[in-house]
Structure formats: C-alpha cells, structure tokens
Structure 1
Amino acid sequence: MHCRPCEPRHPDAQRGVALVVALLVFGLSAALLVAMQSEFTLFYQRGSNLFLAEQGHAYLRGAEELATLALVMDHDADQSREQPRDDLGEFWAQQATPYPLDEGGWLVGSLQDLQGRFNLNLLAATVTGTGEDGTDSARFTPAQAFFIRLLQALPELQLDSREAIALTQAIGDWLDPDTITRPFGAEDDFYSGQSPPYRAANRPMASASELRAVANVTPELYRALAPLVTVWPQTPAPLNIHTAALPLLRSINGDGELVPLSEMEAEALFQRQRSEGGFASLDALLEAPAFADKNMEGVRSLLGESSSWFLLTAEVEVADRNMRLYSVLHRDERTVRAVARASGSL
C-alpha cells in the first residue's frame, strides 16, 4: 500500500484564516467597547442628574430655612407692638430678588400670606331654617355670602348672583359629608354622568386644585380664583385684612348683602391698605363710608389682622436647570414648620 504524504497548507491560506480570526476578535471587542461606553455614558449622566437634583433640593431647603428665620424675626418684632399684626410692609412680604450662587445660577424665594386668601373649606357649613326677613341671603352663612360676592367681584368673568350662588352651592356639596344635593348644587348624581364618571369628595379639600373637579368650574374661573383662595389652615382661620387682594376687599359687605362693593368703594379701601401699610385696625376698616348703616357682625367674624400660615415659593437654577419648591409653613409663636411640600422641575 502506498500512502501519499500530506501536503502542507499553503501559507497564504493560513494567513487568511488568521486575518479572519483577528477581524472577528476586533469586531467583538469593538462591539463590547461601544456597549460599555453607552452604559458608562448612561450611568454617568444618571449620576450627574442625581447630583444636580440633590444640589438643587439642598438650595431649596436652604430657602425654606431662610423663610423660617424671616417669620421668626417678624414674630419677635411684633412683640414690641401694642397690637401684633401682619401686613405687606413687613420684611417677609418684600419682593424677592434673585441671589447669585457661587458656582453659577441663582436662588430666589418669596412668601405669601395664606390667610390673605379665602379658605374654601368654610363653604361646607349650611344654614338651618330661614331668616326673619325671608330673603335669599338668609339661606347662606357669612362665609358663603362672602364667596358669592367674591365670584361676582372677579372682573374677568362678570358672573351674576345666580351663577355665583350655584357655584357656591356646588362647592359646598363637594365638601359636606352627605350626598344630599343643595339647591343649585351638585352631588354624585351629577358627577356620575361625566366622562369619565367620578364621585363628590364629601370631605374638606386637601388642595385648592380640587376646584377643577367641581361642577361648573371652568378653566377660566379656576385661573381667576387660584391666587385668591386656599385650603390652609384645615381649620379655617380669619382672613387678614392687611394682606387681602382687591377682589377680597370688595367682597367685604354687610350681612344680608349678596352683591360686592362697587369698584369705586373697593378701590378706595385698596388704596388705604397699600398706601398706609394696612388699615389702622379692623374697626377702622369697618367704619369706612362703604359700610355705613350696615350690619357687619357676620362678616366681622371672618376677618382678622394677623397670620400664621404662609406659602413659600422658591426657585433655583443650577447648571441651566430650574427647580421649584412650594412649602406651606405654619408659624406658632417662634416655631415654624412645613406642613406640606410640592416640588418640580421646569
């Protein structure tokens, strides 16, 4: 038997196989490197975002601490007054100016008096029985009558008294614990017919934004009311006459009145408030000519001169990113605590 010796492979063929293997290894390595680079970039960006978010939150909480300090200083200053009060001439109410940060960007914060707004949760109460005069006004509490006047005092909407009463009753139905519909109000039978259907809350509002779910509250109405109303404190406190806006001052009127003051009368009150740093006192306000010969006892119970609840609005810019913090602050003597916070990015 004759065996043919194996002939060696051609050198060019061996080099070709080696080149293919080398290219395969290179391709796999390149794919792995690209994947690793993508993961690293994502991880780095995520870490950077977290760091910037933490940095922004730290600045915003610093703004909250500064607001706390301002409110404590205001409390201490009020102790030297014969009659402590809170008005727009005090340090906490001054217009905010941006504070530049060392590494670039800025921080700004401002305080608003939540007791300078109407508390919506006051509308839950109802009047039992009828008044001696038999008028429509006898069906409403002083707070409800005040809100009916406020709705008519919004210049953007020009609501009449019937529309204002219907809206007030609908909000009252949203707040009260029962499912009995008030005259012109709205309960589950109305909301179940909406798309999508839902039910009345039947509890105090936790946020003024709940207004958007109440029957007949349009986007335009909500935008007009938003800066004038609040749900804090949850146990309603008096409206501060020294910080109330013009529509709220116009809504102060005698018991039994369901229409607001005239624009001229309200403007006179507003000018007194702003030019004199507030009214001399609650009695001085109610002695104004606009209230002559009117019974003011009911509305007096809704009014006050000092505040314990404030809203901080703080904004910070870090690395061209803007963040905001909204804090509801409660001041009790020299103790200030945040009872609610909301934050977001722009």
Structure 2
Amino acid sequence: MSCLRISLGDIRSQDGVALVVALLVFAICAGVLVALQRDFDLSYRRGLNSFVAEQSWAYLRGAEDLASLALTLDYDADLASETSRDDLNEIWAQQATPYALDEGGWMFGSLTDLQGRFNLNSLGDPAAAGTSSYSPAQQTFIRLLQALESAELDQFAAIAVTEAVADWIDADDEPRLNGAESAYYVSLQPSYRPGNRPMMSVSELLAVATMTPEIFQALRPHVTVWPQVPAAINIHTASQSVLQALNVDGNLQPLSRSEGESLVQLREGAGFTSLEEFLQLAVFSGESNSGIATLLTESSSYFLLASRVEIADREQRLYSVLRRQAREIDVLQRINASLYDMPNPAAENSQ
C-alpha cells in the first residue's frame, strides 16, 4: 500500500514537472516566433523600401528621357522655322501636369531655363578687383539685388554682397574694397576658407560674407551656377527681377517695378522680336547698352529638370542639370535633395 502511495506521488510530481517544462517550451517558442515575426517585418520593409526606391529612380530617369525628348523636338522645330530662340511658349516650357502611374502614384516634372537666371560665376572678373569700377556682369548683379521684392537692399549693401561673392569666386586672395578673402573667413568660428573657384552650387552663397538667409531665399530663384563658364542671359525666359537688372551701362539702379512689369507684359503679348529690338526699347534708348548687350542672348543650352515621383505613399525627388548641344542632351549633375521649391500637383488637384 505504501509503495502504491509513493508511486502515485511520483506521478503527480512528474506531471507538475512536465507542465512546467511544457510552459517553458511554449514560452521559448512564442519568443522565437515573435523574434522571427519582427525580423520578417523588418526584412519585408527593407525589401519593399528598396523595391520602391529602385522603381522611383527608374521613373525619375524616365522623366529625364521625356525632358530630353522635349528639348530635342524643340531643337528640330527651331531648325524647321529657321529661328534660333527659346521662349516660354515652346513645348519644354509648358505647364507640367502629373502623370498617373499604374501603381497608384504619380510622376511630375518641370523644365526651367537656367539661362533665364543670372550666373553667379560671371562675377569673378579679375579686371575689377581692387578698383571702384564694375564689369557689366557685376553691375547687373548689383541691380538684381536691389530689385528683389522680399529683400530690401540699398545700393551700398548690394555692392558689398557683390564684391564678397566676387572674392569668393576669383582665384586670388586679395580682397576687394567691400569684399572678403581668407583673412576674414579664417577669423570666424568655425573658420574656413573661400572657394576661390567657380561655384558648384547656389547654396555656397550661404557661406559668403554679408550673405543672410533672407537675401539667399529671395535671390535663389533668380540665380544659377550653370554653366560654370557663364553663358548669356536669355531675354525671352528671364524673370522680372532679372529683366529689371538689365539697365544701361554705368547705372547701378535697377529698372523700376513698373518698367519690369511692362517688359514682362510686352513679352507675354507681342514678345521681343529680336535682341536688337529689345535693346531699342524706351527703357534703354538713348543710353549706352553695349555692356549689357554682351550678357544677353535669345537661345539657351542649359536647363534644370525638377522631377518628383510618389509610389506607395513614398516620395522621391530628383533635380537634373541638362545641357543641349544640337540634338545631344547631356546630364551634367543630378541632385537627390530638396534644394528647390516645387509645387505638389497631387495636393493642388485634391483641392
């Protein structure tokens, strides 16, 4: 009888141990399953993000191909009409619309004429260094700074900014009258040195002496650094502020706001027949304009493509600098960053 009781006790004890072991095995399995699920989710998300990123990049490169096609067609149209001009009525300059994608997202792209902007790299004229005279490009930039609507600069401040930017670009280390070279920048905390070379990006302006974020934001839509060997400004695509900066030689005051508006209205209406006719307009007539004439053109070779794609609620942007040489289109630079403001067509269409 006692042997039977011991056996039954052992059995009950073994049942308890088995239950504990079963619970431990269940807990371990549950922990392993949770870890596996977490690793699976992370791997799935990584894979999905990688797939969407590759797909988005393919669409953005496709936007480059579409832009190249538009620029090539424009070149062919100019050949057929025997005119060599680029204006805002051409196919590449039309208002862009979003393209719906099969994945449920959209793609958007717009072309901007970089030769409709002032080229900052034209300011490093060594002939004007250390003197009180200014090259036609420097005079134009002084006027452009004063023409900015959201940055109220007088002529003295505009000259200081112009000379500081010119010192940043030129190869020497001799500061201009209102400029700044290594001695100034090394004294800052943290210290750095000026570029003393053509600018690679408009954002370099933020490192230049006398430049403020307010001036930079107002100036940014009207300036470029492409091409690095500056090309002329296209009168048919220049913004109103750039047109106001095209005053007669020796006059450091920009055209008035009303004169700038009249130039834009004239261009949108009858347009400018030729560069010669443009320089004979009333705002220039009777004055020397040989200096600004060397800065102007009617055709363009450098364009900025701002493209955006959204797939699976993920957005990616690409900014491409395109150069057109006859029917050949080259991509000089790609920037995958939000350096330029760009409208959101999806948001606009939903309103």
5 Å matches for 1:72-111? 72-111=72-111
Secondary structure of 1:200's counterpart equals coil
Matched, 1:340 2:333: yes
For residue 344 of structure 1, report the CA deviation from its aligned partner.
4.2
Give the Cα separation in 2 of the matches to 1:158 and 1:126.
28
Superposed CA deviations along residues 78-119 of structure 1, whole A, max 9, x for unmatched, are 002333100000010001111111221111111000000000
Is the contact between residue 126 and residue 141 of structure 1 (CA under 8 Å) also seen in structure 2? no
Take 1:157 and 1:30, find their aligned partners in 2: how far apart are those partners?
64
Counterpart of 2:250 in structure 1 is: 256
Find the aligned partners of 1:51 and 1:285 in 2 and give their Cα distance: 52
Q: Does residue 151 of structure 1 match 2:177? A: no
Is 2:128–2:134's contact at 8 Å kept on the other side of the alignment? no
AA aligned to 1:252 is L
Structure 1: which amino acid aligns with 2:318? L
The alpha carbon displacement at 1:128 in A equals 5.2
1:105 aligned partner, one-letter code: G
Counterpart position of 2:168? 174
Q: What SS class does the counterpart of residue 211 from structure 1 fall into?
A: helix
Residues 123-163 of structure 1 show CA distances to partners (whole Å, capped at 9, x for unaligned) of 011335999xxxx5xx1111001100111111222211111
Query: Match for residue 55 of structure 1?
Result: 55
Spell out the pairing of 1:20-35 with structure 2 (5 A cutoff).
20-35=20-35
From the superposition, tell whether residues 226 and 129 of structure 1 become closer, same or farther in structure 2 (CA, over 3 Å).
Answer: closer
- Mean Cα deviation higher: 314-323 or 227-236: 314-323
Q: 1:256 to 1:177 in 2, by over 3 A?
A: same
Contact 1:126 1:140 in 2 (8 A): no
Match of 1:233 in 2: 227
| Residue correspondence of structure 1 range 136-285 to structure 2 within 5 A | 136=132, 139-276=133-270, 278-285=271-278
* Partner SS for 2:80: coil
| Distance in 2 separating the partners of 1:308 and 1:301 | 17
CA shift digits 1:151-200 (9 cap, x unpaired): 11112222111111100000011111111111110112222232322111
Counterpart position of 1:329: 322
Query: How well do the aligned residues superpose, as a CA RMSD in angstroms?
Result: 1.8
Q: Find the residue that maps to 1:79 and give its secondary structure.
A: helix
TM-score if structure 2 supplies the norm length? 0.91
Secondary structure of the structure 1 residue equivalent to 2:81: coil
- The 1:70–1:128 alpha-carbon spacing in structure 2 relative to 1, beyond 3 Å, is closer
Q: SS at 1:45's partner residue?
A: helix
Kept after mapping to 2: 8 A contact 1:173/1:202: yes
Q: Secondary structure at the match of 1:97?
A: coil
How many angstroms apart in 2 are the aligned matches of 1:288 and 1:130?
Answer: 34
Alpha-carbon distance in 2 for matches of 1:103, 1:39: 27
Cα separation, 2, equivalents of 1:267 and 1:37: 63
Look up the match of 1:44.
Answer: 44
**Any idea what SS the aligned residue of 1:10 has?**
helix
Find the residue that maps to 2:110 and give its secondary structure.
strand
Instruction: Please give the residue correspondences for 1:281-320 in structure 2 after superposition, counting only pairs within 5 Å.
Output: 281-320=274-313
Q: Is the 8 A contact 2:123 2:138 kept in 1?
A: yes
| Gaps in structure 2 of 5+ consecutive residues | 339-343, 345-351
Matching residue's letter, 2:22: A
Q: Distance in 1 between matches of 2:128 and 2:149?
A: 32
User: How high is the TM-score relative to the length of structure 1?
Assistant: 0.93
Residues 328 and 338 in structure 1, CA contact (< 8 A), matched pair in contact too: yes
CA distance in 2, matches of 1:221, 1:203: 22
The answer on whether the counterparts of 1:191 and 1:197 sit within 8 Å (CA) in structure 2 is yes
Cα distance in 1, alignment partners of residues 61 and 269 from structure 2 = 34
Partner of 2:347: none
C-alpha change, 1:166 and 1:128, in structure 2 (3 Å) is closer
Match of 2:348 in 1: none
Distance in 2, Cα, partners of 1:270 & 1:128: 32
Residues in 1 aligned to 2:39 and 2:311: alpha-carbon distance in whole angstroms: 25
